[in-house]
Amino acid sequence: MKTSARPKEGLFLGLTFGLIVVLGTVFFFKKWLPDLASDRVEIDHLFYTILIMTGIVFILVQGITGYFIWRYSDPTPERAVYLSHSRSLEITWTTVTALLMLALGVWGLSLWKNVTTGNAPSKALAVEITGQQFQWNIRYPGPDSKFGRVDPHLISDDNALGLDPKDKASKDDVVVQDDLYLVVNRPAIVTLRSKDVIHSFFLPNFRVKQDAVPGMSIDTWFTPTKIGDYEIACAQFCGLGHYTMRGMVHVLSQEQFDQKMKELGHVSYQHHLLTLKGE
């Protein structure tokens, strides 16, 4: 005859796992990514594929665990079936998991190759971005489409990148802080560098995140697809002012962009250099 009641622990733990299932389901359906403004839609596909796969497994495992805790906390002698092992079950879950991981790995690697070393179209807009505590120095090659020479010895408050005023190609380079101008539907190749510590160039709306490492030049490319203003964040803790290391991407039409470059050509550091030299 059944006399003893189910112990409180079983009920409590069972309900706790039930709560995890409820919360897991709520978070599963939340909006995970900000509005997409670039051509990197495949990153979203990969992200949501992984989220759906792991989300379903997570919710199932927590739910079944909670149910078993509750079910077998019943002190009436109903024993669970003892299973030492099952070869076919083990082979199945190992193979299926391995194949899924392999597929995700191959997909992820080919995607990564495309956004980092993949060939950007030749009409791409070239921009060089140098991280510095705590700002983004953004350099455009100017009308000659050539980045001029820089020399670390020439770095000063007025010349953040050490542009060499004796180099012709440097003269028309445009350097601005924290405002990145790009052209809608025109691929952009960003070359990332750093003057001091590791920073991370993060454009949430563009699905772009790439470290800027001292001593290295790292390229990444993407195509903005929507006109508008978007955030640039530093995603690598880089010092006390890290939280202030914030900029904006302004996606413009080609005409607006050309106009902007003209304006900036007159206020950039390059202009200061020429003024200093009395030219």
Cα-flanking dihedrals φ and ψ of residue 201, to 5°? -80, 110
Least distance to Cu ion from the beta carbon of 129, Å?
A: 12
112: which DSSP letter?
H
Interaction residues for Cu ion, span 79-138 (CB under 5 A): none
Tokens of 216: 């290295």
245 counts as binding Cu ion under rule CB under 5 A: yes
Tokens of 47: 């992200």
* Torsion sign (Cα): 148, 263, 191, 220: negative
195 counts as binding Cu ion under rule CB under 5 A: no
Stretch of residues binding Cu ion (CB under 5 A), selected from 17-25, 27-35, 50-58, 191-199: 191-199
| CB-based contact 116:108 (threshold 8 Å) | no
CA distance linking residue 140 with residue 194, whole number of Å: 16
Stretch of residues binding Cu ion (CB under 5 A), selected from 67-75, 146-154, 194-202, 214-222: 194-202
Mark residues 146-185: x for contact with Cu ion by CB under 5 A, - for none: ----------------------------------------
CA distance linking residue 52 with residue 36, whole number of Å: 19
Least distance to Cu ion from the beta carbon of 135, Å?
A: 9
Tokens of 184: 């809608």
Choose among 39, 34, 33, 32: nearest CA to 182.
39
Least distance to Cu ion from the beta carbon of 242, Å?
A: 5
CA distance linking residue 263 with residue 118, whole number of Å: 33
Residue from the set 37, 176, 238, 249 that interacts with Cu ion by CB under 5 A: 238
* Torsion sign (Cα): 140, 141, 144, 145: negative
Give whichever of 14 and 247 is closer to Cu ion, judged by the CB atom. Answer: 247
Stretch of residues binding Cu ion (CB under 5 A), selected from 50-58, 80-88, 118-126, 229-237: 229-237
Cα-flanking dihedrals φ and ψ of residue 4, to 5°? -80, 140
Mark residues 199-218: x for contact with Cu ion by CB under 5 A, - for none: x-------------------
Residue from the set 160, 234, 251, 264 that interacts with Cu ion by CB under 5 A: 234
Least distance to Cu ion from the beta carbon of 247, Å?
A: 11
232 counts as binding Cu ion under rule CB under 5 A: no
| Residue ranges binding Cu ion (CB under 5 A) | 199, 234, 238, 245
